[in-house]
Structure 1
């Protein structure tokens, strides 16, 4: 499957990239515009974390846009954040609340088709890589990589911290790991929060089972840390601007690996 990218590594770390895709698949014509459908992509997160392969981490990425089907949502359709604004398994609006479709939104049959076509294969691959690494390592860290605009009033008030760490309220990974990630952010003078507005999506909540050797952690980055949010949209990727944040992320992923090895 050309849209599903799996790069196996041997380190006890998997980096998941569920939202950096810009392929609107066979439903592009259904959206009001391709530009609007791609507005909320995790722009350039795949390039930001390209170094993960040099750490011998496994990388799992879907090239299909989250607007087609969001592989980080509960497949049952249940909200991950009851009572708070969010988007669906097959989103019908942008984060700002703008309608994605000019006509009818995906019905139950269409949602099921997209789930089977893209959601299920992505998670089959992710689960397979976890199982493969667990044969070799007693502990594995699943790191779910995201980013979002710093200001999205419909989703949260004010300006988002640069590093937003989610562990489903401490359920999905050891507190030793989450504390280590926070320490790196603090040591490098980066604003951060643990289990703030973003506590971890479906990936973190579904796979994080510390007692079974799988420690899942979500990182939601504020985009201003690596690109110009005030410029034209979609933004361009500037390696020099991204370098400081990438340096901190490199320390974080290295710490994830050391954590897994030390507790293995």
Structure 2
């Protein structure tokens, strides 16, 4: 099983998909409890939702599930949101704070190191390689990190999550025009809600690669799954009708970002 799938494109935009994979080695699946088996914290169908929106975009997708190891967490294990509930590099609980491993089967430090080597590192090696490749082509790269999450998870946040959750680590990971462009499109999207650097300010991927002074601009989009799933519970079916309404807004975002890069608006 390859840890990563890459589709190379000629656009300056790179789409990262760290949480759509559902592959779990059989030996690990046997150690997960029933909650773990539901894989409820998957970014369900995000690869399908974005497919074809920007045909020349490069995509880098992790094939492994985040319960194996989370490709959007600091490999050193540092928390993205100190003092707030979250899940770690190798999750022990799900987003509801409930255990996902059977008693006595929680992975230890040695196993975490092995998973870093087999899964986390290959994904990020591929992602960095593609960022470097498109930056060499265009003088600039835009990393757009694709995510989704259930809209109501009391363990992680109060109330109902907005539909579009834009993260730039308080503007540190991209040029202001990148942040402003995405926020403007989302704010004008009829019947949708949005927030900039709210509960989700960008994960490790966005914070690690976003170096606007070096020509790499990173932004995370965390979509509420209510915007494109029939239900935010098992079996997490994709809604063609909802996706049909949502996809034009995502397409506009990606095309506008691409145009910023191609028109030299990012300093390349």
Q: With the length of structure 1 as denominator, give the TM-score of the two structures.
A: 0.96
Distance 1:198 1:100, change over 3 A: same
Kept in 2, the 8 Å contact 1:31–1:37? The answer is no
- Residue equivalent to 2:63: 63
Kept in 2, the 8 Å contact 1:15–1:52? The answer is no
Deviation at 1:53, TM superposition (A): 5.3
Residue 96 of structure 2 is aligned to residue 96 of structure 1: yes
Residue 3 of structure 2 is aligned to residue 6 of structure 1: no
Distance 2:113 2:137 in 1: 35
Deviation at 1:37, TM superposition (A): 5.2
Distance 1:176 1:191 in 2: 20
- Residue equivalent to 2:138: 137
- Residue equivalent to 1:219: 221
Deviation at 1:221, TM superposition (A): 0.2
> Matches of residues 98-177 of structure 1 in structure 2 within 5 Å?
98-104=98-104, 105-177=106-178
- Residue equivalent to 2:230: 228
List per-residue Cα deviations over 1:111-140 (Å, max 9, x = no partner). Answer: 001011000000000000011111111111
Kept in 2, the 8 Å contact 1:37–1:94? The answer is no
Kept in 2, the 8 Å contact 1:28–1:34? The answer is no
Kept in 1, the 8 Å contact 2:3–2:118? The answer is no
Unaligned ranges ≥5, structure 2 = none
2:65 match: secondary structure: coil
Distance 1:152 1:251, change over 3 A: same
Coordinate RMSD, CA, aligned: 1.4
Unaligned ranges ≥5, structure 1 = none
Kept in 1, the 8 Å contact 2:10–2:134? The answer is yes
- Residue equivalent to 1:203: 205
- Residue equivalent to 1:51: 52
Kept in 1, the 8 Å contact 2:53–2:247? The answer is no
Distance 1:13 1:124 in 2: 17
- Residue equivalent to 1:260: 261
Q: Moved runs in structure 1, 4+ residues, more than 4 A?
A: none
Distance 1:8 1:204 in 2: 20
Bigger shift: residues 1-10 or 56-65: 1-10
Deviation at 1:34, TM superposition (A): 7.0
Q: With the length of structure 2 as denominator, give the TM-score of the two structures.
A: 0.94
Distance 1:34 1:50, change over 3 A: farther
- Residue equivalent to 2:182: 181
Distance 1:138 1:20 in 2: 29
Deviation at 1:234, TM superposition (A): 2.5
